Structure 1
Amino acid sequence: MPSAYFLVPGYGAQGATAKDIKYCFNPDGLGAIINASRSILYAYNISPWKEKYGVNAWKEATLEAVIRMNEEIREILLPL
């Protein structure tokens, strides 16, 4: 199924890291949609954003969590 995309759960709060999901992608860096729910939705309540932002700045914590996730995934895909 060379043109199929797989939904890959488990990133973030469930424990998967960028290194764990690296093999879900095709050699061209496509083929996977990475899902992270709790680690993004509740970033304001998870270290390091809990200490940096807290509940009142949940939008900023969420944005930073998304940016970090994207950077981590991009780093493991660049060598492909």
Structure 2
Amino acid sequence: MTSVTVMTFEEATRIRRQAERGALDLRLPGTAEVVSEADRVCAAAAVWGDTPADRRRSMWGVAGISAAVLAIVAACMLPLPF
């Protein structure tokens, strides 16, 4: 059984900084994967926010925009009353 630990935004930021400075040896097994995961976590935080409140606000924004688009498309598909 494997255990998966989620990397936090702070950890990912610290790992990326160390990799950019050259403090990490990317030739060691697993190091490149950890740096790649840190890049993914930072990219997701840039898109969705790095705190739970930011992510929740982004989710509600996406849901609201999707509902508005669905309502407009549904209204356009209604027959005209002529």
Instruction: Tell me which structure has the larger Cα radius of gyration.
Output: 2
TM-score, length-scaled by structure 2: 0.28
Instruction: Judging by fraction of residues, say which structure has more strand.
Output: 1
